Amino acid sequence: MKTLVLRGVWMLLGYALAVLVATTIACIVFGLPTVLPDDGRWGSFYTWWRDFPSMLFIGGMMTAIYGLPGWLGSVILAEWKHRRSRRYFAMAGVLTALLALLIAGRFQGLFPEIALNLGCLIGGFFGGLAYWAVAGQSSGARRQLPCPALSL
C-alpha cells in the first residue's frame, strides 16, 4: 500500500512538472514574435515580458485543468501496457496538448492562432518528456509478489 501511495505522489509531481514545463514553453513560443524587428507589429517585447508571470499563472491553471483528461488516459495506457519510453511520453504530451486545445475550444485549425497552438504542441512534447523524467520511467513497474510455493 505504501508503494502505491508513493507511486501516486511521484505521478502527481510528474504532472505538476509537465504542466510547468509545457506552460513555460507555450508562453515563450507565444511571445517570440514580439522580438521580431517589425516595428512592434506583434507588440513590444518589454510589455510581453512584464505580462509573462500572469500569462504563466493563467496558462498553468488552464493547462492543468484542460490537460487532465489526456494525461489520465496516457498514464492509464502506460501503466496497463508497460510503456516506459521517452518517445511514448513525448507523443502522449503532444496528443494531450491537442486534446486540451480541442476541449478548450481553441483549435479552429493551425493558422488562426499559430503561435499559441504551436506553442501548446511544442510545450506538450517537452512536458511529456518532463513527466517521463520524473515518473514515466517506471510506468507499469509492479512489485513481484513472492511465489506461494517458496513461502513454506
Residue 144 pLDDT > 90, yes or no?
A: no
Residues, the chain, total? 152
> Can you tell me the mean pLDDT for 121-130?
92
Amino acid at 74: S
21 close to 122: Cβ distance less than 8 angstroms: no
Torsion of Cα atoms, 31 then 69 then 84 then 129, to 10°: 10
What does DSSP assign to residue 83?
A: -
Angle of the 86-104 helix axis to the 2-31 helix axis, nearest 10: 70
117 close to 101: Cβ distance less than 8 angstroms: yes
The percentage of the chain sitting over the pLDDT mark of 90, rounded to a whole number, equals 25
Model confidence pLDDT, tens digit, residues 103-119: 887 655 554 577 778 88
Kindly tell me the burial class for residue 108, based on how many C-beta atoms sit within 10 Å of its own C-beta (0-12, 13-18, 19 or more). Answer: exposed
pLDDT at 79: 82
State the chain's mean pLDDT as an integer: 80
